[in-house]
Every structure is written in structure tokens, then in C-alpha cells.
Structure 1
Amino acid sequence: MSEHVVISREQHAHSAWLPVSGYQHAAAQMAVPVAFAELSHLLGNFVLGFIKQGDTFQLVALLGIEQGKNLYVHPENGRWIGDYVPAALRGRPFTLGKPQASGDGATTQDPVLCIEKQALTDLETPAAEPLFDTQGERPELTGKAAESLSFLHQRHQGLIATQQVTNALANVGLITQWPAVVNTTEGPRRLAGFYAISESALKNLDADALSHLHHQQALPVAYAQLLSTARLKGLGQRVDMFARLTAHQEVPEDLDSVLGSYGDDEELSFDFDR
């Protein structure tokens, strides 16, 4: 696991960072948390579901059917194989950390920007980008570091809002255990530990409950999850394709056209609309 350090003006005003390429860091993720703002991009690319965390549920996109294997990351080169990269997997090597106590003992309310320690370097390193603009009286984050902070805060707020929506769905009894099955050439594979919207419970909600979910903007999430189950077939196809890849059997040269791709030469932006 990568070690992160908090970025500060005092310590890193003259530091730089090296961009990270590929998604090998996500190669073992079976599911990833997603936000309401991503629904339009997620729906055509992923199966959506819920996982239980304590007494609450979290909306996730399924990336595989077993722990330790992400079917959207190429096993040989770490390239993303899909049309959309969930926001939770973008922003590396930056992330948000817990609020920090200041010198007078006060604690900031907002999460702070952190960076993977191994990505830090000096300004003379080729291809490195500065963390701060030091032209003014006070160093300020610059370039993609500043964009990262904005994006990560946006994603953080999006996940909070999505959790409120998910809670609303759970509170009216719509989230239930999901006996999902993915069909592969090796036979059916059952997904364990995931939850889904109960279509029958949704149909039987009374007018007051429906009105409440409407005002909570929860109905789009419910319908998106139900519609996304059509992607289970595609998930099975990915299982079969990855079995061939790892066995070094012949696979289509245009693998991206079969499974979808996120272009290597297309720069990732810190925006939910990508």
C-alpha cells in the first residue's frame, strides 16, 4: 500500500511530483465506490450494486466477480479497458486525508490534500511538475495539483450526497440481498456480498414513500441499479476474455473494441463529466 504525506506550503513549496500512468494500483479491486453525479457514465459500462458497511449501504460499481481481480485493468500493462474510469480511481497520486490540527491546536473542517510519498521529487527531475507557484508572497498550489484538490473535494462531497440517497433507499426497505449470477464459459458464477434494489418492493411503495424518494433524488439511483443488471452478461464476457489473456491464448487484436477502452493518449481530467 502506498504511503501518503500531507502537502504543506512550508515543506513542499519547492517540491515537484511525477505523474502516475496506468491503473495497476486498482488491479485487485473487485468494486469501487461511485457517486450520483457519475450515473450517466456508469450505466452503460458497469453493473451497479450495494455493499454493506456496518449498518449502512454503499453504492458501488462492480469491477470483477472475485476478490483480487479487476476485469477493467489489463493484466499485462495496467491499461484501463473501458469507456469510463470511475472518479474514485482518478486523481492519483493525490488523495484527501483527514483534517489536520494547526499549531494552535485547532482542527480544520475540510480534508487535506495528500500525495503518495514516492511521487514526490525535486524541481529538476525530468517530467516533474511543481506543486506550488512561488511567484507571489504566499505559495499556492498550481497546475494539476490545484485541479486535483478541486476534483477530490468535489468527489468527496459527491460521495456524501450519494450516501444520503442510499440511506433513503435503505430506510424504506428497498435494498435487499442480491443472488446475482454471472454466466461464463466455465459455468455460472454467483456473486457474494452484494445487495440490490428490490423491484417488487419498489413497485409496492405507497405515494408518500415515492414522493419522499423523489425529493431525495433517490429514484434515479434505484432505477440505474436495476437497469445496470443488464451488464451482467458483459461482465461474464470479460471473465472469459481475461481467462484467455492470462492463459496467453489468442485474443482479438482489437481488444478495446470488444471490451471498450480509455485511450492511453487521452489526458484524464479531474471532472465527473469524463
Structure 2
Amino acid sequence: MPNHALLNNIEHKDLRILTQRGAAYGDAVMSALTFPAEFRELQAHYPIVFAKNHEGTSFDPIALFGFQQGENLFLGGGQGLGNGWDAPTIPLTVERQPFLIGRPADGSGEGMMIHVDLDSPRLSRSEGEPLFLSYGGSSEYLERISRVLRSIHDGLETSKTFIEALLHLELLESFVLDIELDDGSQNRLAGFYTINEERLAALKPEQLGRLHEAGYLQAIYMAVASLAQFRGLIDRKNRLVAGTDAARR
């Protein structure tokens, strides 16, 4: 269970963050939350789909890294096992680990504060990126994390109205992806949603205009374009299965 604490330059003055990527640092995840402002960068590497939120009342856009829970096919050169992330762009909700935005416990403050998960395997006292300078100021790395957290906060706020627009126009539809791997095994990806391209194409000019004015139209087309990355994800899965089979021999 996460052990969140308000970051400060007294208790955490010597804290450092290990920034390398790997399963040992919590990167073995199937997906990550994303938001429209980063669709353009992410669509070149990951399929972007939509999943129902925890309450089941709305949807969240996510970037897919694998086909099952705990599978990240971008780790270890696409083998899904070793260290390193085999893509030039990582979703900000992954990059920000082990930090998150928090508010004062009494709810009285208006500003946002940086919290850190003290149980994260990324924390170190001897190696990694320092959070604070010797005189107590924030390091360049911490300044970067602060900007990342702000981008995530703003992006998730925008994402709410983006999803509302998609639902209003009935542009989301569920899909099932059946996959036959090179070894003959059958796999199915289900439970996710994507843009209904027929309904999108049938929208009236004024509806498209409103989406464009709101800044949503480009994000919609980026999400549609990202589905081409399923081919690359399947290729990664085939390499993983082939490597696992070879190791068993």
C-alpha cells in the first residue's frame, strides 16, 4: 500500500530518485492513464483506448503497453522482462512516479503540493537524481517533476470535458481484438472502448466545428490513428512468447 508523505527539504533533503526503467521499479503495468494533450506524442508508439473508470460512471483514456495485467511489452527491448523502456516517449503518469499532487490535509489551502510515496522502490539515499540542492532549493529534476504534475493535473481536468463531449455525440464503442500469435495461441483483448469512426464521419459540420473549437478534434483523430500501433504491440508479444519458449528448451 502506498505510503504518501508531503515532500519537504528537511526530512527528505538527502532523498534521491532512481529514474531507470524496469519491472523492479513498478513499470510492469499493462497501461497508463493519459489525456488529450499528450495523444499526439503517444499515438506514434502506443494504442490509445478508453476504459470505464473505477466508479463505472465515465471513461478514462489509457495508453496500452500489453495485453494482460502486469505485462509491459516495452520493457527490456520489447521483451517485456528486463530493464529499459523501448520507446522514446513515456506517458507523464508513468514518468511522475513516485510523486503525486496532494492538497493540505485540512483542506484549507488552495495551492497544490508534491507528495512522495516513501515505499516506492525508486527511492534511494545514495544514488539517483537528487531532489534538493545543498542549500535546500529544488533540483532541476524536482522542478521537472513539478511541471509534469501540473501538466497531469491540467490534462486530467480537460479530459473530463473531452469524455463528456464523446459521450454526448455517442462516439465511444466497445471493441474486441482477437489475436492469433505466431505459435498458434489464441488471445483476446476485451473490455475497452474506442472511437466509432462511422459516427465520427457522419457528424454534421457544426458538430465538428464545436469539437475543433474546444480543441478535441485533433485528439479524436490521434486516438483513431493510434490503433495502428496494435500491430507493433502484437509483434512485441510474439517476440516475448518466442523468447520464453526458447528459454524453456
> What is the TM-score with the length of structure 2 in the denominator?
0.83
Q: Percent identity?
A: 24
- Matched residue count: 239
Of residues 166-175 and 113-122 in structure 1, the stretch that sits farther from structure 2 once superposed is 113-122
What is the correspondence of 1:91-102 to structure 2 with a 5 Å cutoff? 91-93=96-98, 95-101=99-105
- Going from structure 1 to structure 2, the CA distance change for 1:187 and 1:132 (only over 3 Å counts) comes to closer
The equivalent position to 1:153 in structure 2, one of 150, 153, 160, is 150
1:83 aligns with 2:85: no
- Going from structure 1 to structure 2, the CA distance change for 1:140 and 1:193 (only over 3 Å counts) comes to same
Alignment RMSD, CA only? 2.5
| 2:21 alignment partner in structure 1 | 22
| 2:51 alignment partner in structure 1 | 51
Q: What letter corresponds to residue 98 of structure 1 in structure 2? A: G
Aligned structure 1 segments of 4 or more residues deviating by more than 6 angstroms? none
- Going from structure 1 to structure 2, the CA distance change for 1:172 and 1:7 (only over 3 Å counts) comes to same
**Alpha-carbon distance between aligned partners in 1 of 2:28 and 2:175, rounded to the nearest angstrom:** 22
Cα distance per residue 1:92-115 (max 9 Å; x no partner):
33x1143113xxx55223442122
- Going from structure 1 to structure 2, the CA distance change for 1:211 and 1:129 (only over 3 Å counts) comes to closer
**Alpha-carbon distance between aligned partners in 1 of 2:177 and 2:124, rounded to the nearest angstrom:** 46
What is the correspondence of 1:1-12 to structure 2 with a 5 Å cutoff? 1-9=1-9, 11-12=11-12
Cα distance per residue 1:120-177 (max 9 Å; x no partner):
566xx4x365533464xxx442331222112211222122223322221122100111
**Alpha-carbon distance between aligned partners in 1 of 2:243 and 2:111, rounded to the nearest angstrom:** 43
- Going from structure 1 to structure 2, the CA distance change for 1:91 and 1:189 (only over 3 Å counts) comes to same
| 1:35 alignment partner in structure 2 | 35
Cα distance per residue 1:23-68 (max 9 Å; x no partner):
3244432121112232222122111110011221111111111122
Cα distance per residue 1:65-107 (max 9 Å; x no partner):
11221111124423112232122111333x1143113xxx552
What is the correspondence of 1:191-206 to structure 2 with a 5 Å cutoff? 191-206=189-204
- Going from structure 1 to structure 2, the CA distance change for 1:121 and 1:240 (only over 3 Å counts) comes to closer
Q: What letter corresponds to residue 231 of structure 2 in structure 1? A: K
| 1:220 alignment partner in structure 2 | 218
**Alpha-carbon distance between aligned partners in 2 of 1:16 and 1:26, rounded to the nearest angstrom:** 18
| 2:108 alignment partner in structure 1 | 107
| 2:170 alignment partner in structure 1 | 173
> What is the TM-score with the length of structure 1 in the denominator?
0.76
